Amino acid sequence: DVKVTQSSRYLVKRTGEKVFLECVQDMDHENMFWYRQDPGLGLRLIYFSYDVKMKEKGDIPEGYSVSREKKERFSLILESASTNQTSMYLCASNPGGSTNEKLFFGSGTQLSVL
């Protein structure tokens, strides 16, 4: 079975810190995604990547950047964390190509910025 692993389940950081959220998938998927989940707002796309070193902005990229140096790993970076970035972050992947292919999700990282 496909596994998408997010490095931390819970994370607490201080305002202004640089934060790295890591995501690794083990099935050679082309596409990887970062979503943010907030109560009452659902899942909103931050960034996605369809190949190594490629990235595309989603709906809410402000305050975030990403890195994909290797196919299996997709990192979300908060350059200077702020309290409004306290949220649940979900990573997902899929093979690409077939458009009805489901997304495989990690278990999420609950980030608190104090």
Partner 1 sequence: AQTVTQSQPEMSVQEAETVTLSCTYDTSESDYYLFWYKQPPSRQMILVIRQEAYKQQNATENRFSVNFQKAAKSFSLKISDSQLGDAAMYFCAYRTPYSGNTPLVFGKGTRLSVIA
The least CB distance from residue 68 to partner 1, in Å, is: 13
Is 89 a residue that touches partner 1 (CB under 8 A)?
no
For the record, the structure tokens of 70 come out as 């290797």
Given the complex with partner 1, which of 50 and 73 has the nearer CB atom? Answer: 50
C-alpha to C-alpha distance for 37 and 30, rounded to whole angstroms: 23
Given the complex with partner 1, which of 17 and 41 has the nearer CB atom? Answer: 41
3-state DSSP assignment of residue 85: helix
C-alpha to C-alpha distance for 6 and 65, rounded to whole angstroms: 17
| CB neighbour class for 66 (10 Å; exposed up to 12, middle 13-18, buried from 19) | buried
Q: For residues 27-86, which are near partner 1 according to CB under 8 A?
A: 30-31, 33, 35, 40-45, 48, 50, 58
The least CB distance from residue 16 to partner 1, in Å, is: 27
Binding site for partner 1 (CB under 8 A): 30-31, 33, 35, 40-45, 48, 50, 58, 88, 90, 92, 94-103, 105, 107-108
